[in-house]
Structure 1
């Protein structure tokens, strides 16, 4: 039997596409460079957007991203893509 309390409806795909873009910009992950270097492909990119769509911390993400500041920031612990961003940044530094 499924525990309905754990089921979270997925968010809007376009909204979460932009949230992932904004989070990457805020934490310094160059998604274009990652794709050009072959460390991020379409399937992995789509997976990041899908993980974001199912993230229970989306409201916190909006608030965090809306805070003013131009300096790069560490990805918040609540972000479902935190580990993926860290992996991409590390792989880009190896290039």
Structure 2
């Protein structure tokens, strides 16, 4: 996968994982709970993960959403921090 395609793929995986566990990344950016640099790092961590197929399969099974990201998710700590009350 070319770099731009890989980045786009992992951008959407990051968005999807966040949405699946009830995190709105755009709201977190807008209200200052996460900076743009922190978000870029999160997408980069996702890019370095070799479980995208497993990730997509897991998200596909979470039709009602999920309380937490799976333990193997590279961005789980950052996403779960965003779920904590402000």
Q: TM-score range by the shorter chain?
A: 0.7 to 0.9
Name structure 1 gaps, 5 residues minimum. Answer: 1-9
The 5-angstrom pairing of residues 1-95 of structure 1 reads 12-67=6-61, 69-90=63-84, 93-94=85-86
* Secondary structure of 1:12's aligned partner: helix
Larger Rg: 1
Normalised by the length of structure 2, the TM-score is 0.85
TM-score normalised by structure 1 residue count: 0.78
For these two proteins, the number of residue pairs brought into alignment is: 83
Q: Structure 1 stretches (4+) deviating beyond 3 angstroms?
A: none
